[in-house]
Each structure stands twice: as structure tokens, then as C-alpha cells.
Structure 1
Amino acid sequence: MTIARAAGRLISRSEIVERACSWLRDSVPYSQTKFHQNEHGIYRADCSGFVSMAWGLPGKPEDRHGGSDTPGLVVVSSLIAADELKAGDVIIRGEGGNETRHVVIFAAWAEEPGRYWAYEQAGGHRTRLRSVTYPYETGAESYAPRRYVSVLEP
């Protein structure tokens, strides 16, 4: 079992959502090799870069832009139960290769049972907010809800 450790400054849930919405506003195209720059910094335009930006994580190493990779997001988060999910938490698949790892930011439970709203940066799409079947559409058994260890709780 990996013990989570803080990697960035303390951040509120409302700031995480605000930061995620900045890429939704910018309609950022997905890329594992390109970067997006806005008022929150320069981050890789893939799913883990998106979450790194939303969580306010520094680049790895810190003098490099881009944020953390998906396994790195697991290291700075703690496993939680599905009924504990709050805006700014993630649902993540941290193992596997670049084609199988993925992470989305939880926004809220949807009215339709078994579904939730997620901010997502995924291949073939621009940043979007969409309804997703819990825990995720494909490879569901490999996804888990997690909470960033530096999130401020009220």
C-alpha cells in the first residue's frame, strides 16, 4: 500500500473546480506531447496534466512544466469510498501503460442512478464536462475514487 504525501500547496475544492473550468473555457485539445498555458501555468494537455493543473501541482521535476503523471497522482492522493466523493476528487486508473491509465475529476453525482458528472481530458476530445457511468465507462474494475491529500476540507 502506498502512503500518500503532499506535493503542492493546500487548495480548496472551489479552486480545483475553478481551475478545471479554465480548461473547459479554453476548450483545450487533448495531447500527450503538447502543453497548454493559461493563468494557472503550463501543463501537459493530457488527463494527468489536467488534474495536476486543477490540483495546483508543480511540474516534475519542479523546474519542468507539465505536472505529474497518472501514477504520480496516486502517490499524492488517498483512497476513499464512492459515497465520500466530493467536487475536486478524482476517479483514477493508475496502473498500466499510456493507453490504459486515465483520470477524471469528479464534479457531482448525476440525477440518473449510477452516474456522475466529470471534468475530463481524454484522447479524441477537448476538455469536457460529461456524465459518466460509475466508476468509469471502460475497465471499470481498475478505477478507484481518490482524494488529493492537500485539499482543504471545510
Structure 2
Amino acid sequence: MPYSRSACHANQHGDFRTDCSGYVSMVWGLRHSYATATLDQVSHPIARADLRPGDALNRPGEHVALFVGWSDAARTKPLVREQAGPNGSPTIERVWTAAYAGTYTPIRYDHIVEGGVAEPAGPALHQIRNADGTWTPFAAVEGFSAPAKGQKVSMAGAADGSAHLVISSF
């Protein structure tokens, strides 16, 4: 969706603004858009060293981006995916400098399942970031259609440089 601070995108999963926090809300599988200042209602701060794909870097009241991985061996320059504007701009993936990233708080969605995989009971979506940096569209995972109580987000990197993102309902 092209960036806009006023437009919304509605689909079968919810209604989302097409700005940075709407993008993170949609990827995290929330039912509506949270703002950068209210993402703390569904997330918690984590140590920078604990960042994993699917977490986010947030500056409340200003901007948020989805963490994809580290671009350097020192783990100082995050690769992020973000809706950054100006109006009409597509979602982009880019590397932030360590200094810029340091002005953001690392956060993790509250409903991540730690230490294993839970069997989803509701709709599940799958998206792949290809090794060349392009993303496939979200696609439904067959067999998951029960009503949802909440959302779980999982993202895993592969040796070929691709990443798989799964959003499932429980």
C-alpha cells in the first residue's frame, strides 16, 4: 500500500492506516492500527541485543519500523522494513545507521510464542522476503479458519537470505 497518514486499507483481517504504525499493526496481525504512541499496549521493550526478525524499533509519537535482521557482523546496523513516506511511497527495506537506530526503542509483540511453535487455531498468513529483498504478497495458509482470539507472529531467516513471515490467529 502506498504511504499515507490519512488513508486506510481494509481487508478481511482488519482496518489499517497506510503509515508506519499501521504497517507494523498489520504485520503483527492486530485487528486495527495502533499508533507509535500506543504500540506499548500490545508490546514490551526488549534489549537491543535480543532483537529478532518480526520485532520493531519504535520512537513513540514519531516512527516505527519492523526489524528484519542485522546488516553487519557487529550487530549495530539493523535492516528494517518500513512505511516511511512521503505520501504515495511504497514500503521499503533499508539499513539504518547505528546512531539512528540508537534513537529507537526495540519492542516485541506481546503474543509471540517462546520456545516452540503453537498450533494456530484461526486464519494464518504467510509472506516471504526473497533473497533479492523483494516480498511476496501475503497468502493464506490452508486449513486455518477458526475464529481468532489473538494473533501470533513468527519470522525466520533462511540460509539463502530469504525470510519467512507467518501471522496466525489463536
Deviations 1:76-119 (A, max 9, x none): 11111111000010100014xxxxx1000000000364211101
CA distance in 2, matches of 1:49, 1:75: 14
Mark the runs of 5 or more structure 2 residues left unpaired by the alignment. Answer: 117-170
1:4 maps to: none
1:79 and 2:45 aligned: yes
2:55 maps to: 89
2:94 maps to: 130
Say which of 117, 120, 124 aligns to 2:79: 117
Aligned 8 A contact 2:15 2:31 in 1: no
TM-score between the two structures when normalised by the length of structure 1: 0.65
TM-score between the two structures when normalised by the length of structure 2: 0.59
> How many corresponding residue pairs?
112
Structure holding more strand per residue: 2
Identity %: 40
The aligned runs of 1:5-154 (5 Å cut-off) are: 28-37=1-10, 40-59=13-32, 67-95=33-61, 101-111=62-72, 113=74, 114-124=76-86, 125-134=89-98, 136=100, 140-141=102-103, 143-153=104-114, 154=116
1:134 shift after superposition: 3.2
The higher-RCO structure (CA 8 Å, 6+ apart) is 1
